[in-house]
Structure 1
Amino acid sequence: MLQRKLFLGARLKRVRRERGLNQSQMAGELGISASYLNHLERNQRPVTAGILLRLAQGFDVDVKTFASESGEGGGANQLSEVFSDPMLSDLGVSRSELVELADNAPAVADGISRLYTAFRELQRQPAEAEAAGSDPRVLITPETWVRDYIQAQRNHWPELEEASETLGGALVHPLSTAEPLRLRLKDAWGVEVRVVGPEILEDASQQYDPQRRVLMLSSLLRPENRQFGLAYQLALLEFAPIIAQMLEAARPPDPGSRRLLHMSFANYAAGAIIMPYGKFLRAAEEYRYAIDRLCAQFGSNVEQVAHRLTTLGRPGAKGVPFFMLRVDPAGNISKRYAGEAFPFSHFGGTCPRWHLHNAFQTPGQTIRQLIETPDGQRFFTISRTIERPIRPDLRDDALLAIGLGCDIKHAPRIAYADGLDLLNTPATPVGPACAVCPRLQCPYRATAPAGRMLAVEENRKTISPYPFVPS
Structure 2
Amino acid sequence: MAERKLMAGHAVRRLRRTQGLSQVAMAEMLTISPSYLNLVERNQRPVTATLLVRLAETFGFDARALAASEPGGGAEAMRRRLADPMFADLEIDRTELGEWLAAAPGGAEAFARVFDRLGGRGAAAPGVDDPAALVRREIERWRNYFPDLDAGAETLADELRLGAGDLYGAVAERLRVKHSLSIRVLPVDVMPDVLRRLDLHARQLQLSEVLDPAARTFAVAFQLAQIEARGEIDALARGADFTDRTAERLFRRHLAAYWAAALMMPYARFLRACEATGYDVELLERRFGAGYEQVAHRLTTLSRVGARGLPFFMIRIDRAGQASKRYAGASAAALVEAEGRCPLWALHHAFDRPGTGIAQLVEIKAGGAVQRYLTLSRTVVPQGRRLGTPEAMFAIGLGVEAALATSLAAARGIDLGARAVAIGPGCRACLRPDCAQRSAAPAGRALAINDRERRATALTFIGD
Asked whether 1:341 is paired with 2:332, we answer yes
Q: Which residue number corresponds to residue 427 of structure 2?
A: 434
The gaps in structure 1 that reach 5 residues or longer are: 1-9, 62-66, 124-128, 130-135
| RMSD (CA atoms) | 3.4
For 1:370, the equivalent position in structure 2 comes to 361
- 2:9 is matched by which residue type in structure 1? L
Note the residue ranges of structure 2 that are not aligned, 5 or more in a row: 1-6, 53-62, 65-69
Q: 1:190 aligns with which of 180, 184, 190?
A: 180
Retained in 1: the 8 A contact 2:313–2:400?
A: yes
Any conservation in 1 of the 2:326–2:337 contact (CA below 8 Å)?
no
Residue type of the partner of 2:119? T
Task: Give the match's secondary structure for 2:337.
Answer: coil
Q: CA deviation at 1:220?
A: 2.0
- Per-residue CA distance 1:332-387 (angstroms, 9 max, x = gap): 11111122211226351222111111111111211111111122221111111111
Q: Kindly indicate whether residue 412 of structure 2 is the aligned counterpart of residue 411 of structure 1.
A: no
Supply the AA of the counterpart residue of 1:382: L
1:13 matched residue in structure 2: 10
Is the counterpart of residue 389 in structure 1 residue 383 in structure 2? yes
The answer to whether the 8 A contact 2:80-2:334 is kept is: no
Q: Deviations over 1:184-223 (max 9, x none)?
A: 1111111101111344445432111234321011122222
CA contact (8 A) 2:118 2:124 kept: no
1:161 aligns with 2:147: no
Specify the alignment match of 1:239 in structure 2.
Answer: 229
Pair 1:209–1:273, CA change in 2 (3 A): same
The equivalent residue for 2:159 is 170
Asked whether 1:302 is paired with 2:292, we answer yes
* TM-score in terms of structure 2 length: 0.82
The reply on whether 1:248 has 2:242 as its aligned counterpart is no
2:169 to 176, 179, 186: 179
Whether contact under 8 Å (2:373, 2:400) holds in the other structure is: yes
Equivalent of 1:109 in 85, 88, 111: 111
User: What is the identity, as a one-letter code, of the residue corresponding to 1:465?
Assistant: A
Q: Is the 8 A contact 2:75 2:101 kept in 1?
A: no
Q: CA deviation at 1:432?
A: 1.4
1:330, distance to aligned residue in structure 2 (A)? 1.4
- Corresponding position: 1:354 with 2:345: yes
| Conserved? CA contact 2:8–2:40, under 8 Å | no
1:224 aligned residue (207, 214, 221): 214
Aligned ranges for residues 277-296 of structure 1 at < 5 Å? 277-296=267-286
- SS of alignment partner, residue 268 of structure 1: helix
Asked if the contact 1:434/1:448 (under 8 Å) is kept, the reply is yes
Q: Which amino acid aligns with 2:167?
A: T
CA distance in 2, matches of 1:166, 1:373: 40
Q: Specify the alignment match of 1:148 in structure 2.
A: 137
CA contact (8 A) 1:75 1:109 kept: no
Contact 2:280 2:409 in 1 (8 A): yes
The 8 Å contact of residues 405 and 411 in structure 2, kept in 1 or not, is answered as yes
Distance 2:359 2:395 in 1: 13
Give the equivalent residue in structure 2 for 1:400: 394
Superposed displacement of residue 77, structure 1:
2.7
Equivalenced residue count is 427
| Counterpart check, 1:314 vs 2:304 | yes
- What letter matches 1:420 in structure 2? I
**Which range moves more in the overlay, 99-108 or 286-295?**
99-108
What's the secondary structure of 1:369's corresponding residue? strand
Does 2:252 match 1:266?
no
Change (3 A) 1:118 1:415: closer
Aligned to 2:416: 422
* Change in 2 beyond 3 A, CA 1:108/1:95: farther
Q: By how many angstroms is 1:174 displaced?
A: 6.1
Matched residues in 1 for 2:348 and 2:26: separation? 46
Q: CA shift at 1:297, angstroms?
A: 1.0
| Contact 1:76/1:102 (8 A) holds in 2 | no
Deviations along 1:145-204, whole A, 9 cap, x unmatched? Answer: 001110121100000010000011122376633111111111111110111134444543
Which residue does the alignment assign to 1:133?
Answer: none
1:445 is matched with which residue: 435, 438, 443? 438
How many Å separate the matches in 2 of 1:273 and 1:163?
Answer: 9
The secondary structure found in structure 2 opposite 1:373 is strand
Query: Is 2:332 the partner of 1:332?
Result: no
Tell me the equivalent position of 2:67. Answer: none
Aligned counterpart for 1:458 among listed residues 429, 451, 464: 451
Cα distance change, pair 253–35 in 1 and its aligned pair in 2 (3 A): farther
Q: How far 1:26 moved relative to its partner?
A: 8.7
**C-alpha distance in structure 1 between counterparts of 2:462 and 2:26, whole Å:** 49
